[in-house]
Structure 1
Amino acid sequence: MAASTDGRDGDHAGLRASFGHVAEPGSGGTAAGSASEGLKRQREDRRCHRCFRGRVHPGVGVAVHMRVLQQPEQEAQEQRRHAGTRACAGLVSPDVFVPSNGPSSSPSGTNSYDFSGSKSWFTYDELVGITGGFAAGNVIGEGGFGKVYMGALGDGRRVAVKQLKVGSGQGDKEFRAEVDIISRIHHRHLVTLVGYCVTENNRLLVYEFVPNNTLEHHLHGKGLPVMDWPKRMKIAIGAARGLTYLHEDCHPRIIHRDIKSANILLDDAFDAKVADFGLAKLTNDSLTHISTRVMGTFGYMAPEYASSGKLTDRSDVFSFGVVLLELITGRKPVDSSQPLGEESLVEWARVLLRDALDMDDFKEVADPALECRYSKTEMRRMVEAAAACVRHSAAKRPRMVQVWRSLDVDDASCDLTNGVKLGQSTAYDSSRYSADIELFRRMAFEGDGSTAEFGCEDEDDGHGSSARK
C-alpha cells in the first residue's frame, strides 16, 4: 500500500536542522529533552550546514567528500532534490559526520585503520590476521548470511568482520550494493563500515565494533540486570534518530527491512546504533513500494510485507513499533510459552495500549521488572508511538521522523494519529493480521512454529557484536 507523504517537505526541513545533537538525559535521567531544549538545539544546528557524498570507486575503495553549503536553505534543498541517485546527501553537523582525511586507501591496506578517514579495502590475509585465522573463539554472531568475528586492528582497536556464506543468496550484486549503501551513511546512531574485502571465494565486511552487545541481549538475556527506564528511553530515541536519517536524509531513501532488537547495538554509554544493512534496499522517490522476496525476521514484519512482499518505509515503522513494545513490556515479539492467542506481542498489547492511554494508567502494559519506576510522561509518549507504529494499515502509520519527534520532545504539535482513533478497526485489524502472520509462518517455517531469525537460528553467547548476520 502506498505510504502517505503529506507534509514531508516541512518535516524534512525541521529534521535536517535537528540532527546536530542527541538529546541528553534530562532532570529525570532520560534522553528525552523538553520542547524548549529541542527548539534551542534546532536553532544551534541551523548555524552549521554541511553535506557529504560517498561514492564507491571500482578497484580503489570509497571516497567521502565534504563541502560547506553557503547557499540559502531553499537553494540547498533544490540542489539536493536534483542530486544524483548515488549520493546520500543531507545536512549534518560535525557530531554525526565522519570527515575524510584524504584520498581513499589502496587495496594494500595503507591508512586503512583510521575509522575517521575514508573507507578502505582489506586483503584477505589482513583479515585472517585480524581475526586470528577466523578462530571459532572469536565468533560473536551468526545468521542467515554468515558469521561475524571479533578482530583487532594493528593499533589495537576492535572491529567486527562479517564473513558471508558462499551461496547464502547474497550475490555479488547484492554484496556490492550493501557496501555502496553503508559507505554513504555517516551518523552517530548507525554502525560504521570500516572496510571490505572481495576475492574470488570470499566476501567480507569490516564494521566498527560496538562493545555492549545488543538491545535483545539486555532485554531478554538470562541473569542480566533489569534495564532501567532512562536507558530504554535513550535507546528508543537514538534508534529512531538513526532510522529517520535513513528514511529522510538519504537520497534515494534507504529502507532497512530487518529492524529488530538484535540489530540495535549498544555502546558502553547505552547509545543505540542501528546495524545490519544487508537487507536494506534503495527506493526511487517516484516509487511507492518495492515488490521483492520477503526477507526479515518473524515477529517484526509488517502484515503487508509478510503476506505480499510489498515494502515501504512504513514497513520499517511497524518493525520499530514492535521494538518499542519490547522496551515497554519486556516481552519478546513472539513467545510460544504464552497462552493461545497471546503469543504475538503486537496482538497481546493492542487492547492494553488502548486501555492504558484511555485511563492514563500504564501498570498493565509496563514491564513488571521496572516495578513502576518510570516517568509517566515518557511512558505515555512511548506507548502512543508504539500504538501508532503497529497499525495494520501502512497508510495510517506515522513516518519515522514523526515517531522520533514524539519520543524526543513532548511537543503537542506532533500528531501521530493520522486521523485514526486508537483501537479503530480500520487502523488495526487483529484477525487480518493473525491470518497474514499465520500464512507467513507456514511459508517460512513449514509449520514447525519456529520464531528464530529467518535462515539461521541466532545463538546468544554473551558477546557484543556489530552485525549479527
Structure 2
Amino acid sequence: MVQKADDLVIIGISVGLAVGILIASLVFFAICWYKKRVHLRRCANERSVATLPIRTNGLGTVIESSASIPNSATVKVLEYLAKKPRRSWWNNHGKDQFLPTSGIPRYSYKDIQKATQNFTTILGQGSFGPVYKATMPAGEVVAVKVLASSSKQGEKEFHTEVSLLARLHHRNLVNLVGYCIDRGQHMLVYEYMSNGSLEKLLHNKNEQILSWEERLQIALDISHGIAYLHDGAVPPVIHRDLKSANILLDRAMRAKVADFGLSKEEVFEGQNSGLKGTYGYIDPVYISTNKFTTKSDIYSFGVILFELITGIHPSRNLMEYVNLATLSPDGVDEIFDSQIVGTCNPEEVRSLARIAHKCLHKTPRKRPSVGEVSQAILKIKQRHLVKENTTSFAEDFYGALSRIEFQDLELKKLARIDES
C-alpha cells in the first residue's frame, strides 16, 4: 500500500511538471507571435512612409518623403492636413488674420453706430465713401469713414490703409485710431480734423480765406509728411493719390496727409500697377508708362503747390494757366489767387512757383527729391519770418518814437500854460 502511494505521488509530480512545461511553452510562443506581429506592423508603416509623396500641409510648410513618422495615426493626421483647403490672406480678411498685431483697436458695428448717433452727422463724401463725425465713449471726437458699396475702392484698399497706418506715425500724417469689420461693413476711424480738407478751404466760397502765411505753412507741412513716407518709412512708401482733397487740416491749421488706400511700398517700384490716382494730379509719365516712382508723388505735390498759389482747381484747367504763366518771368503774378493779392511779398510767391515748376519737370529724374523741396520751402518761410519780424520791429520802434514825440509836445504845452 505504501509502495502504491509513492507511485501515485511520483505520477502527480510528473503530470504537474508536464503541465507547467506546456503552459510555459504556450506563453513563450504567444510572446514570440506578438513580437513578430508588432514587427510586421512597424515594417508596413515604414514602407507606407517611404511611398508618401512630397506635399504641403495646408499651412505653408512641406512634408518630406524621408520624414520619420511613428505610426499610421500620424500619417492619417498629416494626410488630413494636406487635404484641407489652403486659406489665403484675402479669403480670411473677415477673421482679421493680419491685424491682431497692428496695435490698432477694432470696434464693433454697434460701437460705431452709437458713437455716430446712428450715422447722423456727415462731414463729407469721398471716393471711399461717406465720412461721419463721432464721439467715442471716452469723449474723443473722431471721423469715421465708411466704405460705400458703390465705391471704386474696395477691401484691398481698406486693408492696405490699416496695415500701413499701423506702422506709419508722423505729425503730418493723419492718425488712424481704429477700424471696424462687422456686419459686412468696413470702416476706418481717424483723428478728427476740424478744418476739413484743403480742397474745401481753397475752393468753397463759404469757407474762410487762407492767408499767404497759412498757405506757405501748409506747403511745408505737406512736404514733411511726404518726406517721412519717402525717406523715413522702412521700406519707403509711395502715396500715389496726393491731392488737395487728401490734405486735411486740424484746428491749428496744420496740414496732414491722408488716404493711403492706393499707397504702395517702394519695393513695387517700376512694376506695372494699373493706373491709379486722380486725373489732374497724376504724373503724365505714369500715365504713359503705367509705372510709378517717388517722383510721381513729387509731380502731384507740384500741382498742389500751384493750387495753393492760384486757388484754381486742376479740374478747371490749372495746368493750362500754369503753362501760359511760364511764357514770362513774372507770369505767375497774373495767376496768383486774387483773394490775397496785396497781402504778401510777390517774390515769395515767385520762389514757391519756381519750386513747383521743378516738381512738374517732364523728366522724372530731373525733378527734385522731397527733401530738397522741403528745404526750399523752409527757406522761403524763414525769409518771410525775418521780414515780418523786421517790419514788426520797425513799426514798434516808430510807434514808440511817435508816442515820445507826442508826450514831449504835451509837456511843452503844459509848461506854456504854467508860465502864463
The TM tier, using the shorter chain, reads 0.5 to 0.7
Q: Is residue 2:109 matched to residue 1:128? A: no
Q: Is residue 2:325 matched to residue 1:355? A: no
Cα deviation 1:45-70 (Å, max 9, x = unaligned)? xxxxxxxxxxx98463523xxxxxxx
Q: Aligned pair in 2 of structure 1 residues 353, 57: CA closer, same or farther (>3 Å)?
A: farther
| Aligned equivalent of 1:294 | 275
The answer to whether the 8 A contact 1:346-1:390 is kept is: no
Q: Is residue 2:364 matched to residue 1:394? A: yes
The answer to whether the 8 A contact 1:350-1:387 is kept is: no
Q: Secondary structure at the match of 1:355?
A: coil
| Aligned equivalent of 2:102 | 62
1:177 and 1:218 map into 2 onto residues whose CA distance is 28
| Aligned equivalent of 2:126 | 143
Q: Is residue 2:350 matched to residue 1:380? A: yes
2:334 and 2:140 map into 1 onto residues whose CA distance is 45
Cα deviation 1:289-324 (Å, max 9, x = unaligned)? 232122211211111223443211111111111110
Q: 2:314 aligns with which of 333, 346, 362?
A: 333
1:163 and 1:320 map into 2 onto residues whose CA distance is 27
The answer to whether the 8 A contact 1:61-1:120 is kept is: no
Cα deviation 1:267-310 (Å, max 9, x = unaligned)? 122110111111111121xx542321222112111112234432
The answer to whether the 8 A contact 1:363-1:372 is kept is: no
Displacement after TM superposition at 1:204 (Å) = 1.2
Q: Aligned pair in 2 of structure 1 residues 182, 59: CA closer, same or farther (>3 Å)?
A: closer
The answer to whether the 8 A contact 1:283-1:290 is kept is: no
The answer to whether the 8 A contact 1:353-1:365 is kept is: no
Q: Secondary structure at the match of 2:334?
A: coil
Q: Aligned pair in 2 of structure 1 residues 254, 319: CA closer, same or farther (>3 Å)?
A: same
1:57 and 1:271 map into 2 onto residues whose CA distance is 35
| Aligned equivalent of 1:238 | 221
Q: 2:191 aligns with which of 208, 224, 244?
A: 208
The answer to whether the 8 A contact 2:127-2:152 is kept is: no
Pairwise mapping of residues 40-189 of structure 1 onto structure 2 (< 5 A)? 58=98, 60-63=100-103, 119-135=104-120, 138-166=121-149, 168=151, 170-189=153-172
**Higher RCO structure (Cα 8 Å, ≥6 apart):** 1
Displacement after TM superposition at 1:172 (Å) = 4.0
Q: Is residue 2:337 matched to residue 1:367? A: yes
RMSD: 2.2
Cα deviation 1:17-47 (Å, max 9, x = unaligned)? xxxxxxxxxxxxxxxxxxxxxxxxxxxxxxx
2:280 and 2:307 map into 1 onto residues whose CA distance is 11
Partner amino acid for 1:382?
A: L
Q: 1:260 aligns with which of 232, 243, 247?
A: 243
Number of matched residues? 286
Q: Give structure 1 stretches of 5+ with no counterpart.
A: 1-55, 64-118, 336-343, 412-469
1:180 and 1:362 map into 2 onto residues whose CA distance is 41
Q: Is residue 2:394 matched to residue 1:409? A: no
The answer to whether the 8 A contact 2:160-2:263 is kept is: no
Q: Secondary structure at the match of 1:372?
A: coil
Q: 2:181 aligns with which of 198, 201, 212?
A: 198
Partner amino acid for 2:321?
A: W
The answer to whether the 8 A contact 1:259-1:319 is kept is: yes
Q: 1:247 aligns with which of 223, 230, 235?
A: 230
My pick for the range that moved more, 300-309 or 212-221, is 300-309
1:168 and 1:218 map into 2 onto residues whose CA distance is 24
Q: Secondary structure at the match of 1:311?
A: coil
1:222 and 1:173 map into 2 onto residues whose CA distance is 36
Cα deviation 1:176-225 (Å, max 9, x = unaligned)? 22211011111111100001112361211110010011111111112334
What's the TM-score, normalizing by structure 1?
A: 0.57
Q: Secondary structure at the match of 2:328?
A: helix
Q: Aligned pair in 2 of structure 1 residues 354, 253: CA closer, same or farther (>3 Å)?
A: farther
Displacement after TM superposition at 1:365 (Å) = 3.2
What's the TM-score, normalizing by structure 2?
A: 0.64
| Aligned equivalent of 2:257 | 274
1:234 and 1:354 map into 2 onto residues whose CA distance is 28
Q: Give structure 2 stretches of 5+ with no counterpart.
A: 1-95, 382-420
2:99 and 2:313 map into 1 onto residues whose CA distance is 44
Q: Aligned pair in 2 of structure 1 residues 61, 207: CA closer, same or farther (>3 Å)?
A: farther
Q: Which has the higher Rg, Structure 1 or Structure 2?
A: 2
Partner amino acid for 2:302?
A: G
Displacement after TM superposition at 1:173 (Å) = 4.1
Displacement after TM superposition at 1:167 (Å) = 6.7
Partner amino acid for 1:320?
A: F
Q: Secondary structure at the match of 1:227?
A: coil
Displacement after TM superposition at 1:155 (Å) = 2.3
Q: Aligned pair in 2 of structure 1 residues 270, 289: CA closer, same or farther (>3 Å)?
A: same
Q: Secondary structure at the match of 1:196?
A: strand
| Aligned equivalent of 2:79 | none
Partner amino acid for 1:160?
A: A
Q: 1:223 aligns with which of 195, 206, 213?
A: 206
| Aligned equivalent of 1:346 | 319
Q: Aligned pair in 2 of structure 1 residues 232, 171: CA closer, same or farther (>3 Å)?
A: closer
Partner amino acid for 1:159?
A: V
Q: 2:294 aligns with which of 313, 320, 344?
A: 313
Q: Aligned pair in 2 of structure 1 residues 222, 171: CA closer, same or farther (>3 Å)?
A: closer
2:369 and 2:102 map into 1 onto residues whose CA distance is 31
Partner amino acid for 1:277?
A: F
